Structures are given as C-alpha cells and as structure tokens.
C-alpha cells in the first residue's frame, strides 16, 4: 500500500516536474520570440501599434508597416525619429544605436502611442 502511494506520489511529482519543465521551456521559447531577433516588426492596424511596447538590443533596426486603411506616422516623442506619412502597406525603419526608452506616437492620430526599449 505504502509503496503504491509512494509510487503514485512520485509519479505525480515527476508529472508535475515535467509540466513545470515544459512550461519553463515554453516561456523560454516565448522569450526567444520576443527577443531581439524576432521583435523588430511593428504592425500598424486599427489605429494602434502592435506590439505597443517592444524591447530590442542596441543596434537593432525596427520596421513599422502600416496595415490600416488610413495613413499613419511614426514620430518619436523626443524628436529622435520621424517617419513620413505611411499609406497602407508602406514601411518605416529606424536603427536604434543607443540604449534607452523611446516613446513614440502617430502625429496624425496622437492617441496612438507605442514605445521601443533599447537595451
């Protein structure tokens, strides 16, 4: 009896550990997805920037693509960068050399805001 319980308990422990490991692996995978290599794209759609906040390594080039049916712009709050007007499917890229936080907005629709965190 005791052995069975122990086995069951051990199996439970192993199962739990396995689940935790998988979860850990998943979140690492997610982190990798959000890491510098993949999060250099920002999509503009439905009057919003997606993702609204991204974190990149210094030296990364970020590209914004307008998928909305209305033109938008990408303008740094602190005048660090400023796109021309982007109609549907047009893009703007900027390379972030220095670490820091770079809030930006659409100068045509100023309620649209986003930020790039450069590490």
Partner 1 sequence: MADKTKDEILYDHNHDGIDRRGFLKCMAWAGTGTLCVMQGGVLKSFALNRPSDSGAAVAKGELSFVQISDSHMGFNKPANPDVAATLQAAVDKINGLATPPEFLLHTGDVSHLSRAEQFDNVDQILKSTGKQTFFVPGEHDVLDDDGKQFRERYGKGSKGAGWYSFDQKGVHFVGLVNVMNLKAGGLGSLGHDQLEWLEDDVKHLKSSTPIVVFAHIPLWTVYPEWGWGTDDSAQALGYLKKFGSVTVLNGHIHQIMQKVEGNVTFHTAASTAFPQPEPGKAPSPGPMTVPADQLRSYLGITNVNYVQGHHALAVVDSKLG
Q: Examine residue 51 and say whether the peptide bond preceding it is cis (omega within 30 degrees of 0).
A: yes
How far apart are the C-alpha atoms of 88 and 61, rounded to whole Å?
21
CB 100 within 8 A of CB 78: no
> CA–CA distance from 54 to each of 7, 49, 84, 85, 119 (Å)?
46, 10, 21, 22, 11
* Closer CB to partner 1, 62 or 112, in the complex: 112
Binding mask 34-73 for partner 1 (x = CB under 8 A): ------------xxx-------------------xxxx-x
Torsion of the alpha carbons at 97, 104, 83 and 119, rounded to the nearest 10: 10
Q: Residues binding partner 1: what is the number (CB under 8 A)?
A: 22
Smallest distance, partner 1 to C-beta of residue 110, A: 4
Q: Looking at 13-21, 22-30, 51-59, 81-89, which segment touches partner 1 (CB under 8 A)?
A: 81-89
* Closer CB to partner 1, 36 or 53, in the complex: 53
* Closer CB to partner 1, 40 or 113, in the complex: 113
Smallest distance, partner 1 to C-beta of residue 54, A: 17
Tell me the two tokens of residue 6. 């122990």
CB 54 within 8 A of CB 73: no
Among 96, 105, 116, 118, binds partner 1 (CB under 8 A): 105
> Which residue ranges make up the site for partner 1 (CB under 8 A)?
46-48, 68-71, 73, 77, 84-85, 87-88, 103-105, 107-111, 113
């Amino acid at each position: 009896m005791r052995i069975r319980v122990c086995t069951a308990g051990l199996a439970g422990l192993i199962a739990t550990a396995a689940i935790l490991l998988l979860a850990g692996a998943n979140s690492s995978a997610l982190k990798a997805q959000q890491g510098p290599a993949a999060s250099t794209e920002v999509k503009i759609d439905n009057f919003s920037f997606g993702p609204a906040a991204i974190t990149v390594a210094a030296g990364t080039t970020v590209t914004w693509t307008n998928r909305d049916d209305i033109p938008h712009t990408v303008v740094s709050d602190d005048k660090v960068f400023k796109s021309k007007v982007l109609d549907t499917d047009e893009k703007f890229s900027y390379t972030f050399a220095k670490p820091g936080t770079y809030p930006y907005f659409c100068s045509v629709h100023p309620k649209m805001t986003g930020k790039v965190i450069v590490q």
